[in-house]
Structure 1
Amino acid sequence: MVGSRALTLTLRLQGVDIRLDAGQCTIIPVGTHAFIHLIDVPLDAALPCDVLIEYDLLITDRNGIHSGILEWAPHLLYGEAHCPNFVLRSRIDQLLHGSCRKPHHPAADGLLCVDRLLESEPEACKRPTLLMMSGDQVYADDVAGPMLRAIHALIERLGLFDERLDGAVVSDSAKLYEHPASYYHRADLLPALESNETLRERFFGGARKPIFTSSSADNHLVTFAEVMAMYLLVWSPTSWTLIAPQPPALTPERRKRYALEQTRIEEFKKGLGGVGRAMAHLPCLMIFDDHDITDDWNLSAQWEETAYGHPFSKRIIGNALLAYMLCQGWGNNPDAFGGMLERTRLLSASGQDRYLDSDIQDSLIDELLSFQKWHYVLPTRPALVVLDTRTRRWRSEMTLRQPSGLLDWEALSELQQELLDHPSAIIVSPAPIFGVKLIESVQRVFSWCGYPLLVDAENWMAHRGAAQVILNIFQHSRTPGNYVVLSGDVHYSFVYEVLIRHRKAGPRIWQITSSGIKNEFPPALLEWFDRLNRWLYSPRSPLNWLTKRRRMRIVPHVPEHAEAGERLWNSAGIGQVFFNEKGQPQDIYQHNADGSPKTRMVAPEISEAVE
């Protein structure tokens, strides 16, 4: 929660008022009129399961008058309710999941599917257990011009702290916001030196990605204030009421682009009330992927050397990671971030003159970049294991420019220990562990040619060591009999059931991918990839024996609305999975953001349609 001042808060939980003191509410100022309130209240007794639990958050003004959510955020309530509610489920019998929410994509916002679902189903026993967002909740590296203009207006309105910049053509954030390159030309902020060309190309996206997506870093966020303002604008309708941004001076071509983006941002804004309402009624968990920080984040050892070896790009990455910690990561596991919060408060205290202390900021960024507790595990039934596939990478032993493995040996060993002796488990991997073979093959070819950045060559099979270890984990005798892998990232949705060949008692694995919440793959291109993948990797194709998964049988589920046997579903929305008592997926749906009926992923007979 963010307020324009440090607030006096009281949590009302099941009719009991708990006044929040410094031990239960950590307040971190990020500007003159912007105070983050991180609320973590330990309870003497566990809350009941499978029943509605009402709560309210009371703000006490200077006159001692209390105002509840009905007064200060009525858009968070359904119908005639006076306060929000939530349900703690005794087991995960269903959940919602998705990834990739880009505000200026023309698709509708898939999180509004969650709002419609909760509004139509008030019964506690029929609520989803949780909403899992598996990456790219914000796009710090791909920002619309109107959104960036709104960010700057909100920075000014709230007095978000400035910072000094090293290694750029501007000396501080105030000069950055006024610079001619601030809109659509941010790669020009690097000095025109030969030593910066590699950074300009790899970090600011000088090379386009025509194979899969048109990545644009024209408006890449730079400062901590910019990223914080972005979070406020993508989650809260209230922030938009504080500003009235006007277009900057642009060329005729840029004005046309700005106008198109403006129409999309206006549509995005209309749904923010419903998004906030859904999140106020449902436990929400998150994990980062690359766009939360920057495109292709930690793709390879060479990328890391380039990005972290320059003070400007290192600051950009660190600022995004700091904002992620405050706005996403902390809520997943507050106990893991105690020390980090103290150092963040030290940084915010240095901003009394409106400028953050550069030495303190750089020191905090160094600690964030070496932090090892972004991943987390929930002791639910089934166990929920959420992977950090971005900061604990297995660097290629062959060449620095080859893609790194998504987890290193130590992280994979820890994953196996977490899974031992569980009868079932849900693993959240931002990138699919079992992806589309053809697309992975295209990525591998570009990596061999030395161009992994051109095609987002990040998949579990791209690194031999990481691929072998993760596949061996699935085949270990003491790891669960039922795995469900939830993923996003790819901007299309699909379901594979994976079986171990020649093992009757082997584990059953489901790869369930839902992407994106507000993003889609180019339709014509995906149609061809889908068709070619079915031809080239049909059940009897010898190409299957050239893949690392040759000891596994892949059984694709078919979207029920598919017109010509497609296995890949291309529609923004949110995924929903129902589980039986064994932790196996019983029904799998993709709710479509465009308002069309939900799409069921239909499982064929095991003997059919095996890749």
Structure 2
Amino acid sequence: MKYQVGDEFLQELPLILAGPILKHTEPESVTVWVALKQSCQVELKVYNTTDDGQALGNCLLEGERSTVALGKYLHIVAITARSTVGHRLTSDACGGLRLRIYAYDLQFTVADQTLQMQQALCSNSSPTVSISYFDHQKPTFVLPPNRLQDLQIVHASCRKPHGHGFDALPILDCLIEKSANQPQHRPHQLFLTGDQIYGDDVADPSLWVASTLGDALLGWEEQLPVNGAYCTPQQLPPGKRADVATNQAGLTAGLHNKPEKINSHLLSLGEYYATYLLAWSPVCWPVAFPKGHEVTRDRHAIKNWNQTVQHLRQFTYTLWKVRRALANIPMYTIFDDHDVSDDWNLNQAWCLRVLGRPLGRRIVQNALLAYTVFQGWGNTPGQFTAGQPGEKLLAAAQAWSASQGTDAKADQAIARYVGMPANDPHTDLPTFVQDGSVFILDRHPEALTWHYTVRSDRHEVIVLDTRTWRGYPADQKPIAPAMLLCPKAFEQQLVSPLQQIAEQTQIQTTFVIAPTNVFGSQVIDWIHHWHLQQEKVFSTDVGDAWNINTEALAKFLTTLFEERQQIIILSGDIHYSSVARLSYARTHSKLQSVLVQLTASALKNEETLTQLIHTRLKDWLLPEKTRHWTGWINPAKMVEISARQLHRNPQLLTNSDWHCVLEWIPRQSAQTSDCTADILSLIAPWKRAENAKWKWLQPLILWKYRWFQEGREVVGLNNLALVHFELTDASNSCKVIQDLYWFSSWYPTQVVYSRFESQLTPNQSLLR
């Protein structure tokens, strides 16, 4: 049974298919991203407001831009508004402590017709759409404050539509709604740190929608290179792609007897485009899915299909809240592996295996082009202005679609600007160049860069690209763990921005976004090292954690601490959340520094294992212990030492250049969130009815008891993190607080939050 998405269906949809999404926002400019079904000229205006956001004031910034035609029914634009008369947005109102609320509006010119934003959001099938918290129906936002103790940052990662549990991203809408007219309490920035979509591990019903929708959006069917010939996405149906993805594309998600992870892998450009629309907007989802027996005769597949559809129905039920939230807070993103495919660029072996095959190369290029237009454009709009590589890429993407995937020059240009390495003409394998002691993928000088920096008066956020600038050891096997940043990347992504921002003396806190964890659970480290010894590196992403390559980790730490005494890492990836503090000291000087790692994962991808470690079982069976390392600066190196070794031989610390201590911060007892009052909008009626059926069993299930759920180290259920600060004494000493919001398992369902608090000073008792 095919998803009926034709011209008639698409013409019935509203003009806006996804968005508006507020992107890079600063005092001089505001960027808004939107996806449309028709070519338009789009105008953006940013307004001051009065009465705590209730009334619109003067227009301060404005801009306009034409959409880019990525397909017959897919036209995308990221418009940046600026002032022509010297207006500048400010954090506070008239030099006081109260923050300003700003609003923005979009206007669309289609041929000779002009549509206002509310008209463009609605259609006969969607007569009312809310993307505002005010009667004027305009989205609003607040700039980061000029006091660190007022700053509120939200971060999260890993959102798989059919993943278990409730989607935690709609909680952001609740947080904004309750404080929409209180600018000092509104979240100021959102950072999504990886796996915004899943190219692998796609549910069969999701691909059933994305495959047909993608072709309809493009207006043509992509010819995918398979077995020396070509086939279309429709010839590779859901649930039947494992062999093609593994053996033709070389992808690794299905290795080690895990074909279910790759049975419905995204392959075509249209599928990647469609998946982004489906992740952020309810507009293109079908009203109903077919029953399992209508698409397959296999009893096991029928059961899986029907169960997955229930997960997706709950996911789509709250998409309107996700859409509204993303319109009202600046959103910044960076990819991790699943935005392309599991293990993307994990090691040199993966690059040779995948990028050396026509289908593997096509999939990676499709995924990167989709990431560029749906995420990268809004992160760094400056790269997409006239004459810049981004503008050239958009022109190539437009030409590629206009030719229905036959324009070879456009294909080559897309590859060049998204950073695909050239293939050696003799071997058809990707080309590498040497950077110090490692190999890196070769790329064109005009290739886009994905790392960037966000600045305000009091904080800085350095966003790292740890996927495309990896350094593969030249003197080891291709499966050896990579440096997540090669030497050249260390200079470009860390040293340069740290030294540049050092001149801004008002900045009080430095955030670094590392999509893969810098420090993880010690048990996971043991598992990774064991798999590395067994050469089963693709089974558990061996090499994605920084502390597997200790040379790279040592260089990372010394680079940071040469420029900053306080660092906050925002990270995700691992499907559980936690807080860890690293205290660092130079051996022969008084220099001491601190790094606090705040991990938030997953938005929607909890698993049986993470549900277990969420409880007190982990405290009882596998508690995290304090860990010690000694290190050297030149060459960069670090060695872990046990507490017993340190007790027997304290001289171990004096024989190195520096030493550090890692401790896990305990989580406090869960507290009920104000969002509980809005619980009916977060849980679909059929899900509430299902919960009610089992209400009588609830008191009998030990697993559901609140006491048992109050683990001490991690939050292993779907969650969203809110980061803020608190002054602790008159000397302006500060602590960072991470509140992790999650759905409680005790009945009735509540949204609760677990608080983690860490001082932003080294732990002196552990350094002695």
**What do the CA deviations read for 1:34-88 (whole angstroms, capped 9, x no partner)?**
2112212332322232311111112345564532337625221225342111111
**SS of corresponding position for 2:582:** strand
Q: 1:5 aligns with which of 27, 38, 50?
A: 38
Identity over the aligned pairs, expressed in percent? 25
Aligned counterparts of 2:307 and 2:711: Cα–Cα separation in 1:
35
Q: CA deviation at 1:229?
A: 0.5
Residue in 2 that maps onto 1:508: 594
Residue in 1 that maps onto 2:379: 332
Q: State yes or no: 1:454 paired with 2:544.
A: no
**SS of corresponding position for 1:75:** coil
Q: State yes or no: 1:398 paired with 2:476.
A: yes
Aligned counterparts of 1:583 and 1:365: Cα–Cα separation in 2:
49
Q: Which amino acid aligns with 1:494?
A: S
Residue in 1 that maps onto 2:244: 189
Q: 2:280 aligns with which of 235, 252, 255?
A: 235
Q: CA deviation at 1:244?
A: 6.6
Contact 1:70 1:82 in 2 (8 A): no
Contact 1:208 1:216 in 2 (8 A): no
Q: State yes or no: 1:177 paired with 2:234.
A: yes
**SS of corresponding position for 2:525:** helix
Higher mean displacement: 73-82 or 310-319: 73-82
Contact 1:416 1:473 in 2 (8 A): yes
Residue in 2 that maps onto 1:438: 523
Q: Aligned ranges for residues 118-197 of structure 1 at < 5 Å? A: 118-122=176-180, 123-168=182-227, 171-173=230-232, 176-179=233-236, 182-189=237-244, 197=247
Higher mean displacement: 600-609 or 411-420: 600-609
Q: State yes or no: 1:472 paired with 2:558.
A: yes
Q: CA deviation at 1:343?
A: 3.1
Unaligned runs of 5+ in 2: 1-33, 48-56, 92-98, 123-128, 421-442, 629-641, 671-707, 745-749
Aligned counterparts of 1:117 and 1:583: Cα–Cα separation in 2:
27
Higher mean displacement: 594-603 or 48-57: 594-603
Q: 2:491 aligns with which of 413, 418, 421?
A: 413
Q: CA deviation at 1:456?
A: 1.4
Residue in 1 that maps onto 2:511: 426
Q: CA deviation at 1:128?
A: 1.6
Q: CA deviation at 1:560?
A: 1.1
Q: CA deviation at 1:153?
A: 3.4
Contact 2:572 2:600 in 1 (8 A): yes
Q: CA deviation at 1:443?
A: 0.7
Higher mean displacement: 121-130 or 577-586: 577-586
**SS of corresponding position for 1:560:** coil
Residue in 2 that maps onto 1:592: 742
**SS of corresponding position for 2:737:** strand
- CA 1:354–1:530 in 2, change beyond 3 Å: closer, same or farther? farther
Q: CA deviation at 1:437?
A: 2.3
- CA 1:505–1:333 in 2, change beyond 3 Å: closer, same or farther? same
Residue in 1 that maps onto 2:414: 364
- CA 1:367–1:343 in 2, change beyond 3 Å: closer, same or farther? closer
Q: CA deviation at 1:434?
A: 2.1
Higher mean displacement: 580-589 or 288-297: 580-589
- CA 1:405–1:72 in 2, change beyond 3 Å: closer, same or farther? same
Higher-strand-fraction structure: 2
Residue in 1 that maps onto 2:575: 491
Q: With CA pairs under 8 Å and 6+ residues apart, which has the higher RCO, 1 or 2?
A: 1
Q: State yes or no: 1:534 paired with 2:623.
A: yes
Aligned counterparts of 1:41 and 1:79: Cα–Cα separation in 2:
22
- CA 1:496–1:3 in 2, change beyond 3 Å: closer, same or farther? same
Residue in 2 that maps onto 1:524: 612
Contact 1:233 1:239 in 2 (8 A): yes
Q: CA deviation at 1:552?
A: 1.2
Residue in 2 that maps onto 1:561: 669
Aligned counterparts of 1:97 and 1:377: Cα–Cα separation in 2:
16
How many correspondences in the alignment?
A: 593
Aligned counterparts of 1:147 and 1:242: Cα–Cα separation in 2:
13
Aligned counterparts of 2:721 and 2:516: Cα–Cα separation in 1:
15
Residue in 2 that maps onto 1:193: none
Higher mean displacement: 274-283 or 247-256: 247-256
- CA 1:526–1:207 in 2, change beyond 3 Å: closer, same or farther? farther
- CA 1:295–1:26 in 2, change beyond 3 Å: closer, same or farther? farther
Contact 2:158 2:573 in 1 (8 A): yes
Aligned counterparts of 2:328 and 2:314: Cα–Cα separation in 1:
23
Q: 1:107 aligns with which of 165, 172, 176?
A: 165
Contact 1:149 1:245 in 2 (8 A): no
Q: CA deviation at 1:275?
A: 0.3
Q: 2:716 aligns with which of 554, 570, 576?
A: 570
**What do the CA deviations read for 1:299-356 (whole angstroms, capped 9, x no partner)?**
1111111111001001101100100000011111111243233233234234335445
Higher mean displacement: 107-116 or 4-13: 4-13
What TM-score do you get using the length of structure 2 for normalisation?
A: 0.71
Q: Which amino acid aligns with 1:489?
A: D
Aligned counterparts of 2:160 and 2:230: Cα–Cα separation in 1:
30
Q: CA deviation at 1:519?
A: 1.6
- CA 1:178–1:311 in 2, change beyond 3 Å: closer, same or farther? closer
Q: Which amino acid aligns with 2:44?
A: L
Residue in 2 that maps onto 1:348: 398
**What do the CA deviations read for 1:174-213 (whole angstroms, capped 9, x no partner)?**
xx3134xx211212336xxxxx85964x53523247xxxx
- Answer with 1 or 2: which has the greater Rg: 2
**SS of corresponding position for 1:413:** helix
Contact 2:189 2:329 in 1 (8 A): yes
Aligned counterparts of 1:293 and 1:148: Cα–Cα separation in 2:
15
Unaligned runs of 5+ in 1: 191-195
**What do the CA deviations read for 1:227-249 (whole angstroms, capped 9, x no partner)?**
00111111011122689777534
**What do the CA deviations read for 1:508-564 (whole angstroms, capped 9, x no partner)?**
211110111112242236766665553665787448999999921123211113857
Q: State yes or no: 1:76 paired with 2:131.
A: yes
Aligned counterparts of 1:544 and 1:287: Cα–Cα separation in 2:
39
Residue in 2 that maps onto 1:286: 333
Aligned counterparts of 1:245 and 1:168: Cα–Cα separation in 2:
32
Q: Which amino acid aligns with 1:185?
A: K
Q: Which amino acid aligns with 2:165?
A: A
Aligned counterparts of 2:114 and 2:413: Cα–Cα separation in 1:
42
**SS of corresponding position for 1:559:** coil
- CA 1:352–1:366 in 2, change beyond 3 Å: closer, same or farther? closer
Superposition RMSD in Å: 3.3
Aligned counterparts of 1:432 and 1:465: Cα–Cα separation in 2:
16
Residue in 1 that maps onto 2:693: none
Aligned counterparts of 1:129 and 1:144: Cα–Cα separation in 2:
33
Higher mean displacement: 570-579 or 529-538: 529-538
Residue in 2 that maps onto 1:277: 324
- CA 1:156–1:423 in 2, change beyond 3 Å: closer, same or farther? closer
Q: CA deviation at 1:410?
A: 1.4
